[in-house]
Amino acid sequence: MKSRQTRGALALGMLALAVAASVGVVAQQGPGVQRGRPGAGRSPEFPVPAITDYKPRNTLKVPQHPTPRAKFPVIDIHSHQPTPISPEQFAKVVEGMDANNLRVLINLSGGFGDQLRRGLEAIASSPLKDRMVLFANVDFRGVGTPGWSERAAAQLEGDIRAGARGLKIFKDLGLRIRKADGSRLKVDDPDLDPVWAVCGRLGVPVLIHTAEPQEFFEPIDTSNERWLELALFRDRRYPAAEFPRFEELLAERDRMFRRHPKTKFIAAHFGYRGNDLAKAQVMLDTMPNVYLEVAAILAELGRQPRTAHDFFVKNQDRVLFGKDSFQPDEFPYYWRTFETGDEYFDYYRDYHAFWKLYGMALPDEVLKKLYYKNSLALVPGLPKTGWPN
């Protein structure tokens, strides 16, 4: 009898596990222990809202410290403005800068050749000339043809001597630019070596955008945390049949960084390692010529405030402030995340992140380095006076 009862209980237990597994409700709880999730298998009694409609109100009551203006003056090392910029647009941009305590904007969309020179003249002739500098760009037309490397290097050297303070490389490198023979131009292609060498020799940094967020390269399914963004923006999808993989692109970039130790590189968007600060640490530990900037990755830092705080304190000489899209009303989210210890507050674009942000409460000296000191040390020709000690 006892044997039949034991066998019966075992059979019922196995049946329950099979049913639970069939509806995806089995959860792991410790080594070798499984249990059903509370409420699993139930269907909602009310119509299910669309993912774009579900915006629950926050009932949490904790101290709030909105931060409309940065505590210290800021150099934004990652901005995009028209080149050349009109006096009217320049004045409008500076109005937004002043509201946020942004002192200098680095316009990465400087172009090359005649466009760059006209952009430099527009700034130099403005009463606001100490508020913006330009980085040059590379003309990739004809890449892979004989003599292209030498021409590109010569053009860049001329642009830097004309007044460009650095070089910006856009994300098309590695993703979309093709050589003359139709092959993909890889980030570490030797044809680019003379370009990186010019920047090293002349002492200007290269701000390089490689790849896109990791999830943009992954299947667009219910486990993808950027699902809504990918569903809304077709141009942010990088399927395997058409594009190289995320880690492949970053491996190309890192090989190039290591091959040019005398050139200073700023990895845009935290090198897309903001969601994996252990890998970001490996970058900094193994590549002393590499720096990171925070443009458009605030949601990654704000969901891991303690880990991010410790990373910034440890690497305080290697991180720089950048924003990318110039929207004056979005900057305060950065100030609040970096300066306060606030809990559970909104990010400014819900299709980037469904989660809330938490403040990192960085020390003042780390804030100063993030906001302006590191950029002053890295980018030549920026105003050297008028900054806090």
3-class DSSP state of 112:
coil
Output DSSP code: residue 48.
P
The pLDDT of residue 365:
98
Burial class (CB in 10 A: 0-12, 13-18, 19+), 124: exposed
Task: Quickly state the pLDDT bin for 353 (edges 50, 70, 90).
Answer: confident
The pLDDT of residue 51:
86
Third-level CATH fold of 74-378: TIM Barrel (3.20.20)
Report domain extents, the chain.
74-378
The pLDDT of residue 33:
56
Q: What confidence tens digit (pLDDT) does each residue in 154-173 have?
A: 999 999 999 999 999 999 99
Tell me: pLDDT of 13 over 80. Answer: no
pTM for this model (two decimals): 0.90
Burial class (CB in 10 A: 0-12, 13-18, 19+), 385: exposed
The pLDDT of residue 280:
98
How is the chain split among helix, strand and coil, in percent rounded to 5? 40, 10, 45
Q: What confidence tens digit (pLDDT) does each residue in 186-245 have?
A: 999 999 999 999 999 999 999 999 999 999 999 999 999 999 999 999 999 999 999 999
Closest CA to 51 of 306, 285, 265, 232: 232
Q: What confidence tens digit (pLDDT) does each residue in 179-189 have?
A: 999 999 999 99
For the chain, the farthest-separated pair of C-alpha atoms sits apart, in whole angstroms, at 99
